[in-house]
């Protein structure tokens, strides 16, 4: 990438920079992958919890579940009778697991965010000092360069965290669309 104004970059150049920043961050802090993975598990649990409401509505309305229903197979595998109470407990358990995995993902992202800011700040400060002449460094206070490095590090860290939180949101939207397409093809 050249040092030209980023607002003049095309879409491909911006995607390349964002992809490079995210891949660098994942290589440097592999726990970021764990946060993304936890978020994806959380998203899947949310979808399962919402799908578990289908048998709740049927049983609550006094209707029997179809014999080929996956929920009949699930209750049989658990060794329980498919009652309204069981389906409500399954829903609540899935929802609780979703909340736990989401909290774990959020805590992990928060930890990585703090580490990324520290990492990017130190690298940016080092680059500023190494890239400037002695007279340039003397022209401004050291606090100026520390502040500048911190701002750039914060911006880069926010971009990485936003991208890592975007993955589960896109996955959730895709899974909801897929579930709707399967349940209601028209």
Tokens of 114: 């703090």
CB 49 within 8 A of CB 93: no
Helices (H), 29-69: 31-51, 53-60
Q: What is the pLDDT at residue 166? A: 85
pLDDT in tens, 46-101: 988 988 888 898 888 888 888 888 888 888 888 998 889 999 999 999 999 999 99
pLDDT in tens, 3-43: 566 667 787 887 888 888 888 888 999 999 999 999 999 99
pLDDT in tens, 105-129: 999 988 998 898 888 888 877 877 7
This prediction's pTM = 0.75
């Amino acid at each position: 990438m050249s040092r030209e104004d980023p607002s003049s970059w095309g879409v491909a150049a911006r995607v390349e920079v964002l992809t490079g920043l995210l891949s660098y961050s994942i290589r440097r802090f592999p726990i970021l992958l764990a946060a993304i993975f936890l978020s994806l598990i959380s998203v899947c649990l949310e979808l399962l919890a919402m799908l578990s409401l289908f048998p709740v509505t049927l049983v609550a309305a006094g209707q029997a579940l179809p014999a080929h229903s996956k929920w009949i197979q699930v209750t049989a595998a658990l060794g329980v009778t498919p009652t309204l109470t069981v389906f409500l407990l399954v829903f609540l358990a899935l929802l609780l697991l979703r909340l736990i995995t989401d909290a774990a993902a959020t805590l992990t992202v928060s930890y990585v965010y703090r580490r990324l800011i520290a990492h990017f700040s130190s690298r940016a400060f080092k680059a500023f000092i190494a890239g400037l002449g002695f007279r340039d460094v003397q022209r401004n206070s050291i606090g100026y360069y520390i502040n500048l490095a911190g701002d750039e590090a914060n911006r880069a860290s926010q971009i990485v965290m936003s991208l890592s939180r975007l993955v589960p949101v896109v996955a959730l939207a895709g899974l909801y669309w897929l579930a709707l397409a399967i349940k209601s093809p028209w």
